[in-house]
Amino acid sequence: MSSKMKVGIIVQARMTSTRLPGKVLRPVLGKPLLEYQIERLQRVRRADELIIATTTKDTDQPIVDLAERLGIKVFRGPEEDVLSRYFYAAQENDLDVVVRITSDCPLIDPVVIDRVISAFLDKTVNSDYVSNCLTRTFPRGMETEVFPFGLLETVYREAIEKSCREHVTPFIYEDCQRFSLLNVAFQRDESQQRWTVDTPEDFELIERIIATLYPINPLFELEDVLALMSANPNWLEINSHIEQKKVR
């Protein structure tokens, strides 16, 4: 990685989820989900910073308290205007490259994140935006988006629609003629796997996965979870009926 490029992971997190309030701090084995995610994000080799971007609401103080206990930087901004949160968090920390992660992905694999960052930093490709979810092949819950601060600033200044302010990146990937997009794919299609936490059923599955793998190997990776799911095929049924909320 060029020493001139400061790469920062920004995680959006809040307590007021509509389908499962307080989900990011729900405990598994006595530890909140967000802490598991932070542990994993701290193993990303190609990132220089990790910032939790939460809201100014009092209800999100527990997220701030957790981050401070773990020595993680926090930025607080508007609840609905997540784009604003990202822009000012990146600006405040002098980021050149922004890695967008959401807090409902506690199993996210640092190896996957490093792969997406590497694809962005590969100057032989020269893409404006790189992610692993333009065409889904990874399990849901591995979503990683990487883009330069300059592009984030453009989006911050030009995006008007509520969906673009709330979800940060649709303004980019819905205009493939203006921006150069690159998708990072898994070696096979595992997109039927749902390892994100948005409902009680999702939490039940994630709880089983962490409770099984973490005590044995806290550094478990994507393939370890896939092997566990393969050994317990009925676990797929726990949340297979859950529909992902639409961006628009």
Q: Would residue 14 be called left, alpha or beta, if left means φ above 0 and alpha means ψ between -120 and 50 degrees?
A: beta
**Which residues on neighbouring strands pair with residue 78, listed in sequence order?**
none
Q: What is the pLDDT of residue 156?
A: 97
* pLDDT tens digit sequence for 195-230: 999 999 999 999 999 999 999 999 999 999 999 999
**Which residues on neighbouring strands pair with residue 181, listed in sequence order?**
129
Contact 213, 220 (CB under 8 A): yes
Cα-flanking dihedrals φ and ψ of residue 54, to 5°?
-120, -170
Cα separation, 21 vs 12, in Å, equals: 15
The domain segmentation of the chain, as residue ranges, is: 7-238
Cα-flanking dihedrals φ and ψ of residue 11, to 5°?
-110, 120
**Which residues on neighbouring strands pair with residue 10, listed in sequence order?**
51, 100
Average pLDDT over residues 157-186: 92
Q: What is the CATH number of domain 7-238?
A: 3.90.550.10
**Which residues on neighbouring strands pair with residue 99, listed in sequence order?**
9, 146
For the cut 70, the answer to whether the pLDDT of residue 248 exceeds it is no
How far is CA 200 from each of CA 101, 189, 206, rounded to the nearest angstrom? 21, 25, 10
* pLDDT tens digit sequence for 69-112: 999 999 999 999 999 999 999 999 999 999 999 999 999 999 99
Q: From the CA atom positions of the chain, what is the Rg in Å?
A: 17
For the cut 70, the answer to whether the pLDDT of residue 3 exceeds it is no
* pLDDT tens digit sequence for 16-55: 887 898 999 999 999 999 999 999 999 999 999 999 999 9
